[in-house]
Amino acid sequence: MTLIYGFGYNLHGQVDNVLDTCNTHMSYNQPLLMAKIDKDHRIVSMTAGWSESVIITRDTKTDRTSTHAWGKSCHDQIPRNDILAASGSWDKLMLLSTKKQLLLCSNLEDIANTLKAIENPSEQTYRGISCGDLHQLAITTDEQVGQVDKSNSSWCFSLLPTLQTTRVNLVSCGKEHALILSITGEVFSFGRGSRGQLGHDTLDNEGNPRVIEALQGLQFKLVTCGGWHSFAISSSGDAYSWGWNQSYQLGIDSNLEANEVGSCIATPTLIEIENENVQAISGGSKHSACITESGKVYTWGWGKYGQLGHNCYDSVKVPQLVTALSEKLASTVTCGFWHTIVSVSE
Amino acid sequence: MSALPKQIFHRLQDDKEIEITINKFKNVTDYGGQRILDILLICSQRFKEERFESCLQLAQCVLDIVWEMLNTGDWKEVPVIWRKVYTYGAIYKAAAYYAMGKLEQCIHASDYGLLMGAPILDNILNDIISAAAARIHPCKQTTSIDDALANAGDHHRNDDIDPQRQITQLSCPSLDYFRKHYFCTKEPVILTDVIDHWPALGARRWSIQRLKDIAGHRTVPIEIGTRYTDDSWTQKLMPLSKFIDEFITMESNQESGYLAQHQLFEQIPELRTDICVPDYCCIIDDNNDDVDATVLTNAWFGPQGTISPLHHDPYHNLFAQVMGRKYIRLYPEHESENVYPYPTKLLSNTSQVDVEFPNFENYPNFANAEYLECIIEPGQLLYIPPRCWHYVRSLDISFSVSFWW
């Protein structure tokens, strides 16, 4: 059986599904059991924004998917049975259907009226999505990457012109930047760079995806954006971070860094976690969480809303074990703006 | 517990006024803001029920999420409505602190609302601040710093200035004369006998102690680091009294702090009454159609040794010296090539040359650039034309006021 735990900001019921904002707990600073998923189901997608949490599971026998949603805006509001992946941001929610079509909800507070299929004249099919505050990216089934943008009154997909010859494995959007991982393990970034989140050793913006030179020569298996920060995990299990370190969300002791400009670190920097390899990592607005090879959950950064799960509201400078989950084997983790969701097996 | 003045308290718990205010924010729902309005409504209800701890938490939650909005994308493109919502959250936070008797936190929260937000409810934050300031204990005395001020400082004397390069001084010229001979020809000039009547220079003469008395508890933005072009340069918000204690009266501080280019007089009306916008600021360019009549008034307050690197601004600038002296050097616009502006767009109005210790190997033509210089003293007003390069170093603890138009 898989158990889902959540901790952090909960005013909208994104952790406990109590939907009356007047009478809910503002936050949980310890992991709370959100759901039990029986052994025939596998988690295929996990996302969280500011006020909601969404998990999609697949029945390994029937191949059917089901959607579980927490939080006032999403609970009861999104399609139940034909969704393969979900990705949420501040006000948008992007969905990938089992027919490999894209749907975009342009206002989370009104899903019923604003959830629409994206214009698809060329009958494109898709395999990956990521929704940020300023960008929405999708990967086609033939591994090309493009943006979903509003043109006139409808939402359209268009390939990123400069990456048409690059086959893409993974995309991730932060609040104002995006990361792209090619199938050969190269990492690209674009968008706003004012917090160093692009990793090009400057605070400049990039209009088009640009390969992160500091990561070249290594192969990467995962990239993911926090609010204004970024992570990449190499194929050997080393985790790197860069971007805004204002609340210590990078997990590195910034006082020791030479490339520091204010509280921004614009160059990828290795994160040390008890000499363990890292299998999964995720960033919230200003906090971060990861799972090590041995299945332990570590969190660091901003802790004001309990999003670190350390039984307090303190911020933490370097990765610290979530002791309440230390006896369990964690497999996936995702950070909402101010909350964290972890799946563990029992 | 302390009671807010009745008229403020009443406005913040009047259902009708709350409804009207929140309705004015309705267009944030286009940007997913209904969730925030829901919280604001509960926040105001908790205030009304006098559940101030809970009110405070909810207000803080609104401030935290709107802060993220204000930091996403280009600051100039963030809809101004978010800044109003930010201010509404700050108002309840400040009022809750006031009601809990935490007056310093109340002023601190109000200043954040003023600095990050946009004015709403007839600028009620200023009323809350005045009410809190009236009850709060004054900031502790600064031991004879003002006496020391008179003797301290860098004795860079007038005769260090090359007479050939000394900027012309003129006693209170007529508007017409100033317009014709300086404004239109873009010639710098020092004006004397123009601002002598300012209370800040006479009846309510500014001193470190007076600034502390009036505004010690107020939160202001401070630039940390010698020059804004340095990598380690950063900005921090802190109470004015802390800035004075740590950066102005403490000589041993290794970091340099400067309250620079801040619209202090918008934030603190009590200080605004001590100065006046000079009449010269109403002179406008003949051939400029889109004239913006507003005068931007900025404060510049710091210890001896603050440096503004050589740079230019697009405005006419009347630079008034109120406390201490400053050394100023001006390079005309046509010397731009010889002062080596930074190649990046962000710093293209800033010279790479360290003006007083130039590296002529890297910047050989800088030696050929013609310039003017002066030491400006309290009561003097320096006219810096638009796009005229200027370098400024304080010789004493210094307070200047610039008027841009």
How sure is the predictor about B293, in pLDDT bands with cuts at 50, 70 and 90?
confident
How sure is the predictor about B151, in pLDDT bands with cuts at 50, 70 and 90?
low
The helix/strand/coil state of B341 is strand
Instruction: Please identify, among B84, B103, B135, the residue that sits at the C-terminal boundary of a domain.
Output: B135
With an 8 Å Cβ cutoff, are B32 and A109 in contact?
yes
Residue A82 in this model has a pLDDT that exceeds 50: yes
Length of chain B: 405
Residue A261 in this model has a pLDDT that exceeds 50: no
- At A44 the pLDDT is 95
Q: How far is A235 from chain B (nearest CA, A)?
A: 32
- At B251 the pLDDT is 66
Tell me the C-alpha to C-alpha distance, in Å, between residue A60 and each of A43, A241, A266, A333, A345. 10, 35, 42, 21, 16
Torsion angle, alpha carbons of A57, A61, A62, A66, to 10: -10
Instruction: Please identify, among B135, B165, B180, the residue that sits at the C-terminal boundary of a domain.
Output: B135
In this prediction, residues B309-315 reach a mean pLDDT of: 95
Q: Is B71 on the interface with A (CB under 8 A)?
A: yes
CB atoms within 10 A of CB B264: 23
Q: Which of B29, B64, B71 sits opposite A109 (nearest CB)?
A: B29
Tens of pLDDT, residue by residue over A107-117, are 998 898 889 99
How sure is the predictor about B136, in pLDDT bands with cuts at 50, 70 and 90?
confident
Nearest residue in A to B73, CA atom = A176
Residue B142 lies in a domain: no
In this prediction, residues A182-206 reach a mean pLDDT of: 95
Contacts of B152 (CB under 8 A, 6+ apart): B304, B396, B397
Residue B211 lies in a domain: yes
Do residues B27 and B66 both lie within one domain? yes
Instruction: For residue A22, list chain B residues with Cβ-Cβ distance below 8 A.
Output: 42
Residue B1 lies in a domain: no
- At B343 the pLDDT is 87
Do residues B157 and B129 both lie within one domain? no
Q: Is A176 on the interface with B (CB under 8 A)?
A: yes
Nearest residue in B to A175, CA atom = B72
Domain with B105 in it: 6-135
Give one word for A251, left, alpha or beta, with left for phi > 0 and alpha for psi -120 to 50: left
Nearest residue in A to B32, CA atom = A91
C-alpha–C-alpha distance, residues B63 and B78, integer Å? 15
Do residues B191 and B69 both lie within one domain? no
Pairing mode, if any, of strands B257-262 and B219-224?
A: antiparallel
- Percentage of chain A surpassing pLDDT 90? 83
- At B92 the pLDDT is 96
Partners of A7 in the beta sheet? A340
Residue B335 lies in a domain: yes
Instruction: Please identify, among B104, B135, B166, the residue that sits at the C-terminal boundary of a domain.
Output: B135
User: In this structure, what are the phi and psi dihedrals at residue A256, rounded to the nearest 5 degrees?
Assistant: -90, 0
For chain A, list the domains and their CATH numbers. Answer: 2-345 (2.130.10.30)
Report chain B's mean pLDDT, rounded to a whole number: 89
Residue B152 in this model has a pLDDT that exceeds 60: no
Question: Residue B296 maps to which CATH number?
Answer: 2.60.120.650
How sure is the predictor about A203, in pLDDT bands with cuts at 50, 70 and 90?
confident
Restricting to B residues 222-281, those with a Cβ less than 8 Å away from any Cβ of A are 231, 233-234
Instruction: For residue B230, list chain A residues with Cβ-Cβ distance below 8 A.
Output: none
- At B254 the pLDDT is 72
Residue B95 lies in a domain: yes
Do residues B230 and B306 both lie within one domain? yes
> How many domains in chain B?
2
How sure is the predictor about B49, in pLDDT bands with cuts at 50, 70 and 90?
very high
The larger pLDDT score, comparing residue A23 to residue B268, is at B268
Do residues B247 and B386 both lie within one domain? yes
How sure is the predictor about A136, in pLDDT bands with cuts at 50, 70 and 90?
very high
Do residues B301 and B206 both lie within one domain? yes
How sure is the predictor about A258, in pLDDT bands with cuts at 50, 70 and 90?
very low
With an 8 Å Cβ cutoff, are A176 and B73 in contact?
yes
- At A21 the pLDDT is 80
DSSP state string for A102-154 = EEEES-GGGHHHHEEEPB-TT---EEEEEE-SS-EEEEETTS-EEEEEEETTE
CA B321 to chain centre: 15
Do residues B159 and B61 both lie within one domain? no
- At B262 the pLDDT is 93
- Burial environment of residue B6 by CB neighbours within 10 A (0 to 12, 13 to 18, 19 or more): exposed
Residue A223's Cβ-side half-sphere holds a number of Cα atoms within 13 Å equal to 32
- At B179 the pLDDT is 94
Q: Which of B32, B61, B74 sits opposite A11 (nearest CB)?
A: B61
Residue B67 lies in a domain: yes
- At A256 the pLDDT is 45
Do residues B308 and B205 both lie within one domain? yes
Do residues B80 and B170 both lie within one domain? no
- At B129 the pLDDT is 92
Residue B141 lies in a domain: no
C-alpha–C-alpha distance, residues A146 and A156, integer Å? 10
Residue B391 in this model has a pLDDT that exceeds 50: yes
- At B144 the pLDDT is 61
- At A122 the pLDDT is 85
Do residues B107 and B206 both lie within one domain? no
Residue B140 lies in a domain: no
Do residues B43 and B117 both lie within one domain? yes
B contact test, residue of A22, A202, A259 with most B CBs within 10 A: A22
Do residues B67 and B212 both lie within one domain? no
Length of chain A: 346
How sure is the predictor about A259, in pLDDT bands with cuts at 50, 70 and 90?
very low
As a whole number of Å, the end-to-end CA separation of chain B is 46
Residue B122 in this model has a pLDDT that exceeds 90: no
In this prediction, residues B211-239 reach a mean pLDDT of: 85
Tens of pLDDT, residue by residue over B4-44, are 888 888 889 999 999 999 999 999 998 899 999 999 999 99
